Homo-oligomer: A and B are copies of this chain.
Amino acid sequence: MGSTWGRYFKVTTFGESHGPALGAVVDGLPAGVRVDREQIQDCLDRRKPGTSDLVSPRKEPDRVEILSGVREDLSLGTPVALLIRNQNQRSQDYDDIGRLFRPGHADYTYHQKYGLAPLPGGGRASGRETAARVAAGALAQALLAPLGVRVRACTVALGGIEAGRVDYDFAETSPLRFADPDLAAEAEALVREVRDQGDSLGGVVLVSALGVPPGLGAPVFDKLEAVLGQAMLSIGAVKGIEFGAGFALAKMRGSEANDSLTPEGFASNNAGGTLGGISTGQEIVMRLAVKPTSSIALPQSTVDLDGQEAQIRIQGRHDPCLCARVCPVAEAMAWLVLAEAHLEQLAHERRDLC
C-alpha cells in the first residue's frame, strides 16, 4: 500500500528499479490545463543522473510517454498516465548481494514485511521510484505555475559546509545544486574526496514556494506543514524537516519567534509561511535533512538471509551525495501538496448564501 497520494489531486505511482517500467497516474487535473510532454521531460531531465562526475554515472534516459488524459496538449480532465520505461539496468551489480541485507537500505525491512529476498537495486525502495513523482509533479506545476506559484529547491549544507547565502540561479548551474557561489568549489572538492574514499555525504536541502495564495491548507490533521512534512519525509533519504526557523525556535522566546503583522504584511517569517497550518501568503520555507547515500564502496558489516555474519562491498554507480538529486523530487512533492491544497480550497471556499 501507500502508493497513492492525495484526494483532490490524486497521484498513484508504480514500478521497481529493475522491472519493466515506472509510472504515475494522476487523477484530478482539471480539464483545459496545458500539458506539454517537453515540460514533463524537462523536470525528469533535472532529476536524472549522469550529468556530472559528482553524481551517479548511471544512464537513465527516462523518456516519458503520456498514455492518457491529454489531447492536443490540453488535459481532458480524466486521469493522466505517465510511463517511463526502465533501461540500463545492470543487474549484475547486484548479483552478489541477493542474499545480503545492505546497511541503510530497505532490504531488511522489505524482507520482514513482504518475505522477499533483496531485490536488484532495491526494487520499489529504489530512488528510481522518484522519477514517477517528478513526472506527476510536473502536472501539478502545469496547473499552478500559470497562477503565479513558484517552487525551488537547492542544497544549503553538505558534509558540514553550510551555505552563507542562497542563490537559486547559481544553484541551477551547480552540479551539487549548491546555493552559495562562494563555497561551491569547496563543496565539490569535498564530494570528490569522499567519493574517492568510497564513502558518501549528507546535507540539507532548502525548499521554497513563492506566490502561494493565503488560505491554503486545513486545520487539524491536514495542516499544510503536516502534509508537506509527509510529502518530504516520504522521500527515501530525508530524515528530518523543519519549517521557517524550525529547530531554532526551540531556543527562542515567544516575543522573538512571533511574526508581527503590519499594514504592509508580516514583519518576519519565522513561521515559514503558515499559521495554524494555513498559508499566510508569505514564502513557504522548509529545510530537509538528507542522510548520506547508503550505498558506499567501503566494506560494511551485515548479515545474510540466514542471519549469518557477512561483509558487503556495494558495487555500482551511486551518488556520493544525494542532495542534488533530492532537489527536483522535493520540488515535485511541494507542487503536489500545493495542487492538493489549491483544489481543496476551491471546493470549500466560503459561501455567502445567507
What is the 8 Å Cβ interface bit string for chain A, positions 98-139, against chain B (1 contact, 0 not)?
Answer: 000101111111101111100100111100010000000000
The answer for the CA separation of A278 and B279 in the assembled complex, in Å, is: 31
| B-contacting 9-mer, from A46-54, A177-185, A229-237 | A229-237
Q: Contact check, A30 vs B348: say whether CB atoms are below 8 A apart.
A: yes
Can you pick out 24 interface pairs between chain A and chain B where the beta carbons lie within 8 Å of each other?
Answer: A1-B27, A2-B223, A3-B27, A3-B79, A3-B219, A15-B79, A16-B78, A20-B68, A30-B349, A32-B114, A68-B124, A77-B113, A108-B261, A112-B214, A146-B353, A204-B247, A226-B230, A239-B272, A242-B289, A247-B247, A250-B290, A254-B292, A263-B308, A344-B347
The answer for the CA separation of A259 and B229 in the assembled complex, in Å, is: 24
Q: Contact check, B348 vs A112: say whether CB atoms are below 8 A apart.
A: no
The residues of B that contact A219 with a CB separation of less than 8 Å are 2-3, 78, 106, 110, 124-125, 129
The answer for the CA separation of A266 and B8 in the assembled complex, in Å, is: 32
What is the 8 Å Cβ interface bit string for chain A, positions 250-289, against chain B (1 contact, 0 not)?
Answer: 1111111111111100010011101111111100000001
Q: State the main secondary structure of chain A at its contact with B.
A: mixed
Q: Contact check, A104 vs B309: say whether CB atoms are below 8 A apart.
A: no
What distance in Å separates the Cβ of A257 from its nearest Cβ neighbour in chain B? 5
User: How many A residues, CB 8 Å from partner?
Assistant: 159
Q: Which one of A122, A194, A270, A347 has the highest number of Cβ atoms from chain B below 10 Å of its Cβ?
A: A347
